[in-house]
Each structure stands twice: as structure tokens, then as C-alpha cells.
Amino acid sequence: MPLREYRPLTREADVKQTGEYRVKYYVLCEGQNTEWFYFTELCKHKKSLGIHDSIEIIPLEKTGEHAGWSNPKKLLELAESKRQELKADENSTYTKDDRFVIVFDLDIFNKIEEREYKEILRKIKEDEIPVVSNPCYDLWLLLHKANAYNLYIRPNQEDILKNGHISQKHTYTSDLASKALGFSTKGKNAEDFARLMCKVDIAINEEKNICEDVNSMLNKIGCNMGAFIEMLRTKHYE
């Protein structure tokens, strides 16, 4: 089984009438660290973020030979594999309302033609949601800093889009985010990511200063993670 479901040890709240969640959002991330730590904290703080009890967020951990799969096409393959596995399991609570969230960066597309990116978007199925960052997910973390757009993004747009490596661990954007936030976005300290949860609304508002449309994001600084969280907040399944 190439994917392992993450579930927090304690749930904030279940659906009171049935004791079970109604709709599941299975999350497949390009990265195994930054995105993973953020989404696991999102699971734990779901209720305090205003996401309805009937929604369950389930990050999927890539394992074995699939652990290094990061290309969006490969993520879509894994989503299809998980979908078929759930459908075949007679004990599964999978329904047609469940969704697969495909999280990837656009810096990998810097040296390819736009048509290849458009091909990825065309492959997105009705039950799949692309969560995209340009150049990388660290941009979303940077947005948790108050006035991030004016202080860090607008003055450095060219360097952010280029996003060159400045060390073995960091690109320009991840280094910028790390310095602004006071911790390494490439680190593995869950508490650092947990502290961002009280600043999600700041990030959502800051994101509105950049491109949120995945269809036109390829050559622009952009992210739609905030828009995704806002969408989750509107969903109520009774």
C-alpha cells in the first residue's frame, strides 16, 4: 500500500448525530516535510479554524518506493490508486462526495512549456482539487507574517519567481520565509507549524494580494492554499 493515512490521536469534535465524519479530503503533497507538517497541524486545529465537524482532512503519507514521488502526474496516479482501493474496500466509508487534494509547486515547471502545465490541469478530475504555489509552498508560510506582501514579496518579486538555491537546504523563497518567521521552514519541528495556525486568517488576507487562480499562476507569484481553506469553511454537511 503506497499511501498511509494520517489521523490525529485525538479529534477535536465528531459529528454529534452520527459520531462519524461525512466528507473526507484526502491530501497528497509533493513534499514530505513542509507541506506534510502544515497539513497535519491543519487536521489538529480544524475546529478552531472554523472548518465544520463533518469534514475530515486526511493527509496521505507516501511510503516505500513511492516516497520520492513528487511530480504532479505521479501524485494524480497515486490519487487514482487510493480511489480504487477505497472503492474496492467493502468496509470503507468512501462516498462520491469525498475529495482528493493535490498539493504541488510550480518551480518545477520553470524550464518546461506552459502546455505541459495546462496538461496537468486538464488531468484534474471532478473530485480532485489542485492546491498550487508559485514558486513553492514556503510562500504560503511566509504569508502568515503580517504585511508579508508589502514587506517581503513586493520588493523581491523577481528573486522569488527565480527561486534559486542559496544552500543545500534552502531556496531563495524558503530562506526568506524562514528568516521572516523565525524558524526553518525545512525543519521538522511540529510546534513551529502549530504556531502558524493562529495566523491563518492573516495568511488568507495576504494571499489576496497575489495570484490565486491556478489557471494563470504559472508565470506569477501565487498560491491558492488560503482560498482552499476558505472553501472548506463554507462546506457544511448535515
Note the pLDDT of residue 233: 96
- As a whole-number percent, the residues of the chain with pLDDT over 70 amount to 91
Q: Which of 113-117, 142-146, 199-203 is least confident?
A: 113-117
Q: What is the mean pLDDT of residues 48-74?
A: 90
In a 10 Å sphere around its CB, with 0-12 CB exposed, 13-18 middle and 19+ buried, how is residue 85 labelled? Answer: middle
pLDDT band at residue 237 using 50, 70 and 90 as cut-offs:
low
Q: Structural domain of residue 8, as residue ranges?
A: 3-13+22-234
Total structural domains within the chain: 1
Task: Tell me if 43 sits within 8 A of 197, measured CB to CB.
Answer: no
Instruction: Provide the total of helices (H) and of strands (E) in the chain, helices listed first.
Output: 10, 6
Q: What is the mean pLDDT of residues 181-198?
A: 96
Q: Is the pLDDT of residue 115 over 50?
A: yes
CA atoms within 13 A on the CB side of 192: 19
Task: Tell me if 37 sits within 8 A of 188, measured CB to CB.
Answer: yes
Task: Tell me if 84 sits within 8 A of 113, measured CB to CB.
Answer: no
Can you point out the beta strands (E) in 45-98?
55-62
Q: Is the pLDDT of residue 127 over 60?
A: yes
Q: Is the pLDDT of residue 21 over 90?
A: no
